Amino acid sequence: MIFDPGNLSEKTKIGGSLKHHLPKLGLLYVASSLERAGHDILFQDLGANYKSNKDFINLLKDQKPKYLCCSVVVTEWPNAKRILKLVKKHLPNLVIIVGGPQPTAIREKTLSECQEIDYVVLGEGEITIVDLLDALENNKDPHFVEGILYKQEDKYIFTEDRKFVHDLDSLSFPAWHFLDFQKYSMSVAGKFKRGNDGYIITSRGCPYTCIFCDKSVFKHRYRSRSAENIIEEIEMLVKKYGVKNIMFFDDLFTLDKQRVKKICDLIKTKKLDFAWTCQARLDSVDEDLLKNMASAGCMQIGYGVETGSERLQKFIRKNIDFNYAKKIIKLTKNLGIETKGFFMLGFPTETKEEMNTTIDLAIELDLDIAVFSLVTPYPGTDLYILIENQMIGKDWSKFSPLGSSNLVYVPETMTKKELLKIYKKAFIKFYLRPTYLLKKLLSVLKHPYYAERYFSVIKPLFKSIK
């Protein structure tokens, strides 16, 4: 069985309070690889199916799988450990295999913190999981399986590193048939059409070296799928599953401009009707590319700006040119593509003045949506290595992907109270500007559906800073 452990308390129904829920593409890729290798798969997403831990244990007892596989990100680790410990207690012979960013980043700590785990799959898992199950099914020594970690007596055994999948077109599409699309939804802020939502990753790896990004799984080497392969999956999602909104999950969708242009051309040639969003570096797009994207249904681009301080731009190795950023964001908006900007507050050595400069830059850029987060040192990042000893505990459940007010780090230049005050100020100053409110009111009058979208952005943001 392959399952997604979710990220909520064991005392609640997992996923019961989620406003939106996204499937894990990594697990769906693993499922399709195992199916292609001839394995029978049971797929269970606890978040989407609202299963309590007790329900899940009963399901396992009823289905009697030989192996239990899951993928874990850092925010899910506390809940995943609770579930896996409970599973092993009730089903001691069930082989537990764990992969994903968290175990890949902390490695042997995964096994020391949760000894119920039998094997850890490191990095990309599509080929490794097939080889591992083949070894276990045929009583082969797992030491010869590349890319895994396990404990043998009192020793941690790391096998030889697994080489990256260079030909991403060779992988099967994610096992979309396991999903009930009605149970999944991206944030309303990213939805531009009513209908099912889809999620695609078209490339892996990012050649940039920003200190806050976790590249423990895909690393720095950029690899991409062909435009034809991507369009084939899009066509399946749109025509077979009724998908109307697609989010491209790539770290850097626009790195290869010619590939993106070809994707856009094929979308138009095949007359595929859907809206899509992506993320991009400001210096990885230009006017010609943006025109192609707009004509092919791109409705929103998320740009990582991070900070308004030139000093900190160098420190975090982002190195964005602010003048070019202003030009690109204005051009994006003029082409009818919504702009979202990502900013972080609370970098090491950052002053209150620099934080205020970041807030002012967000306003000056005139973005449609600004997402402010508190600096979060994820395991596997250079930032984590730099400030690990300065963190306020290591309660992984407080590591929010949106950087909520649950602090795990406060720079030495200010107090916790001062940092939270500026964090709150960022949202108020950006979203409660009269000019911003007037623009959104006018857009809502033209497109009533947008009212739901904008309120969905503002409400949770302000709730998180109370």
- Among the three residues 106, 139, 158, which one is the final residue of a domain in this structure? 158
Its domain, for residue 197, covers 188-463
Check pLDDT > 80 for residue 403. Answer: no
Of the CA atoms within 13 Å of residue 237, those in its CB half-sphere come to: 29
Quick one: what percent of the chain has pLDDT higher than 90? Answer: 72
Average pLDDT, the chain: 89
Distances (CA, A) of 253 to 203, 247, 280, 314: 7, 11, 6, 23
pTM strictly above 0.85: yes
**357, 432: one domain:** yes
The confidence score (pLDDT) of residue 18 equals 40
* Number of domains into which the chain is organized: 2
Residues 95-107 as b/e (b if ≥16 CB within 10 A, e otherwise) read bbbbbbbbbbbbb
Q: Evaluate whether residue 372 is within a structural domain.
A: yes
CA distance 123 to 144: 16
CA distance 43 to 45: 7
- Among the three residues 136, 158, 180, which one is the final residue of a domain in this structure? 158
**303, 424: one domain:** yes
The confidence score (pLDDT) of residue 392 equals 86
The confidence score (pLDDT) of residue 10 equals 35
Check pLDDT > 70 for residue 185. Answer: yes
pLDDT in tens, 246-292: 999 998 999 999 999 999 999 999 999 999 999 999 999 999 999 99
Tokens of 246: 């697609």
The confidence score (pLDDT) of residue 188 equals 74
Mean pLDDT of 456-461: 60
Check pLDDT > 90 for residue 14. Answer: no
Q: Which residue has the tokens 């570096």?
A: 281
**148, 192: one domain:** no
Check pLDDT > 90 for residue 442. Answer: no
- Among the three residues 103, 137, 158, which one is the final residue of a domain in this structure? 158
The confidence score (pLDDT) of residue 270 equals 97
**235, 292: one domain:** yes
The confidence score (pLDDT) of residue 9 equals 37
pLDDT in tens, 118-141: 999 999 999 999 999 999 999 999
**402, 329: one domain:** yes
Determine the 3-state secondary structure of 439 from DSSP: helix
Q: Evaluate whether residue 171 is within a structural domain.
A: no
**353, 238: one domain:** yes
Apex 71 CA angle, 57 and 408, nearest 5: 105
Q: Evaluate whether residue 181 is within a structural domain.
A: no
**198, 335: one domain:** yes
The confidence score (pLDDT) of residue 446 equals 65
Instruction: Give 99's strand partners.
Output: 71
**137, 285: one domain:** no
**377, 294: one domain:** yes
**Closest to 400 measured CA to CA, from 383, 369, 377:** 377
Check pLDDT > 80 for residue 195. Answer: yes
Phi, psi of 342 (to 5 degrees): -110, 130
pLDDT in tens, 293-302: 999 999 999 9
**32, 135: one domain:** yes
Q: Evaluate whether residue 166 is within a structural domain.
A: no
**346, 301: one domain:** yes
Q: Evaluate whether residue 174 is within a structural domain.
A: no
Q: Evaluate whether residue 202 is within a structural domain.
A: yes
Mean pLDDT of 212-226: 86
Most confidently predicted of 49-53, 123-127, 150-154, 379-383: 123-127
Cβ within 8 Å of residue 162, ≥6 positions away: 122, 123, 124, 127, 128, 146, 147
**Which CATH number is 394's domain given?**
3.80.30.20
Q: Evaluate whether residue 175 is within a structural domain.
A: no
